[in-house]
């Protein structure tokens, strides 16, 4: 188990802090649910971290209010950190900085992971995925890297070995390393040649132990002696060694311990990622199944209600149609009976009469009054459109007005007679 797992546990967050965190996240972030869940998970895992809201200014000079989780993990990550969560989280990975205000006698160790502004670049950011990564994994990876590459250095200590950018070749060009200067060419060896008829087997072997005369040193240069060949038995012993059977005697090698810790941290990280990914997939599938079931139930209820409404409407209309059909059949029988009794086809217009002659005359006078009013309005529209002349309009209007006056006088007279007759009865 890594130091991260040994020192971290579940911490109870006060309810006022949870309420404040929920209200703040709802007002700022797009995916408020995921942001709230991951923030609570980090605060529950590490009691040294605290949440707050601060104005964050990015590299482009744009300022915005963001949630900042800050604190120092003394056991696993003994550096003060500022974890800024962007608005588009989890689509965009969080930003992790060294809290420069809390550094007293230390400075950022500028290198592969930290820049002069205190921004920490982690490998998880290059493979960031909104579906699988979260804030807790960022803190765990930062803690793992800090075990082998500390983010801070004393203020008086020199910086780590770094490459001057001015000495690097420009991008897109490849520069090979400078080759060493060639040594001077040795003088050629001059050997006396014999005649072609002399056989090569007659030349005696030259021994390196035979001393040469002084004139020979001046005229010839002998090649260096050949190194002795290693014994064959020693090589056989070396080649027959099985490295799997050997034991490492030097257990105090720091590289060995560093590699072992790194391997253990990587195995723990992979196990944690697999477990979280599996749980997330199970939760997602569970939510999907629940959503599909709920949607199907809503559709079933809607279709059942619609079917019931249509069935009721069809039943009501069928009853009304049956009633009207029976009424029409009865009317048809009455007409046939009337024709059979009178001996001829009935005239419908002759049947539509009023109760008395005075009422029929009143109907005709009222209809004539309405027709005269419509004619006067039609003449007015023709005059406005300049279809008739003013003299014709005045002449026709005066004649129609006289007829309308007489008609209305008759209407009043007939109406008074009908009223008097009704009163007398």
d(CA 185, CA 182): 9
Q: How much is the pLDDT for 72? A: 81
Q: What is the 3-state secondary structure (H, E, C) of 138-183?
A: HHHHHHHHHCCCCCEEECCCCCCCCCCHHHCCCCCCCCCCCCCCCC
In a domain, 342, yes or no: no
Vertex 16, ends 55 and 7: CA angle to 5°?
Answer: 80
In a domain, 218, yes or no: no
* H or E stretch at 70: strand 63-73
The domain boundary residue, chosen from 154, 184, 217:
154
Q: How much is the pLDDT for 397? A: 94
pLDDT per residue, tens digit, the chain (425 aa), is 333 443 444 557 888 888 898 998 988 898 889 999 999 998 888 888 889 998 998 888 888 899 999 988 766 667 788 899 999 898 989 998 888 777 766 666 676 778 877 788 888 888 898 888 998 888 888 887 776 656 666 555 555 444 333 333 443 433 444 444 545 555 444 334 333 333 333 434 433 333 444 444 344 444 445 455 455 444 444 444 443 444 444 456 788 888 888 888 989 989 999 999 999 999 999 989 999 999 999 999 999 999 999 999 999 999 999 999 999 999 888 888 877 887 766 666 666 666 778 888 898 999 999 999 999 999 999 999 999 999 999 999 999 999 999 999 999 999 898 888 765 55
d(CA 346, CA 339): 7
In a domain, 206, yes or no: no
The domain boundary residue, chosen from 117, 137, 154:
154
The domain boundary residue, chosen from 132, 154, 176:
154
Asked if residue 68 lies in contact with residue 51, where contact means CB atoms within 8 angstroms, the answer is: yes
Q: How much is the pLDDT for 352? A: 65
In a domain, 371, yes or no: yes
Range of the domain at 113: 3-154
Beta bridge partners of 95: 84
Looking up residue 99, the CATH number of its domain turns out to be 3.10.110.10
- Beta pairing, strands 77-85 & 95-98: antiparallel
In a domain, 235, yes or no: no
d(CA 352, CA 350): 5
Asked if residue 325 lies in contact with residue 336, where contact means CB atoms within 8 angstroms, the answer is: no
Asked if residue 5 lies in contact with residue 35, where contact means CB atoms within 8 angstroms, the answer is: no
In a domain, 73, yes or no: yes
Q: How much is the pLDDT for 375? A: 95
Q: How many structural domains are present in the chain?
A: 2
d(CA 157, CA 146): 18
Q: How much is the pLDDT for 387? A: 92
Asked if residue 47 lies in contact with residue 10, where contact means CB atoms within 8 angstroms, the answer is: no
In a domain, 239, yes or no: no
In a domain, 275, yes or no: no
């Amino acid at each position: 188990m890594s130091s991260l797992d040994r020192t971290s546990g579940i911490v109870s967050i006060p309810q006022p802090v949870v309420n404040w965190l929920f209200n703040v996240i709802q007002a700022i972030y797009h995916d408020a649910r995921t942001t709230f869940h991951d923030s609570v998970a980090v605060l529950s895992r590490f009691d040294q971290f605290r949440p707050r809201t601060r104005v964050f200014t990015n590299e482009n000079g744009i300022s915005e209010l963001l949630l900042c989780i800050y604190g120092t993990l003394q056991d696993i990550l003994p550096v003060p950190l500022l974890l800024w969560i962007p608005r588009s989280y989890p689509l965009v990975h969080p930003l992790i900085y060294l809290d420069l205000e809390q550094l007293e006698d230390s400075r950022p160790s500028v290198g592969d992971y930290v820049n002069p502004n205190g921004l920490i670049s982690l490998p998880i950011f290059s493979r960031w995925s909104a579906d699988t990564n979260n804030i807790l994994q960022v803190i765990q990876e930062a803690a793992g890297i800090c075990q082998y590459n500390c983010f801070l250095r004393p203020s008086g200590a020199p910086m780590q070995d770094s490459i001057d950018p001015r000495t690097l070749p420009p991008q897109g060009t490849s520069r090979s390393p400078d080759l060493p200067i060639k040594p001077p060419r040795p003088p050629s060896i001059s050997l006396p040649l014999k005649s072609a008829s002399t056989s090569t087997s007659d030349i005696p072997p030259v021994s390196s132990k035979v001393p040469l005369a002084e004139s020979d040193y001046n005229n010839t240069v002998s090649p260096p002696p050949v190194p002795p060949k290693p014994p064959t038995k020693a090589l056989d012993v070396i080649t027959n060694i099985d490295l799997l059977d050997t034991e490492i005697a030097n257990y105090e090698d720091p590289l060995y311990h560093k590699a072992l810790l790194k391997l253990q941290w990587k195995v723990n990280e992979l196990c944690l990622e697999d477990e979280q990914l599996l749980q997330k997939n199970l939760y997602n599938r569970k939510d999907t199944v629940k959503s599909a079931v709920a949607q199907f139930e809503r559709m079933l209820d809607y279709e059942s209600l619609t079917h019931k409404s249509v069935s009721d409407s069809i039943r009501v209309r069928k009853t009304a149609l049956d009633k009207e059909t029976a009424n029409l059949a009865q009317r048809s029988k009455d007409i046939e009976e009337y024709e059979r009794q009178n001996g001829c086809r009935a005239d419908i217009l002759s049947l539509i009469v009023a109760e008395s002659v005075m009422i029929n005359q009143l109907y005709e006078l009222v209809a004539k009054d309405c027709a005269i009013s419509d004619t006067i309005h039609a003449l007015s529209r023709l005059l406005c459109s300049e279809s008739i002349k003013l003299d014709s309009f005045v002449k026709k209007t005066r004649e129609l007005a006289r007829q309308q006056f007489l008609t209305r006088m008759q209407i009043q007279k007939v109406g008074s007679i009908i009223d008097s007759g009704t009163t007398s009865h």
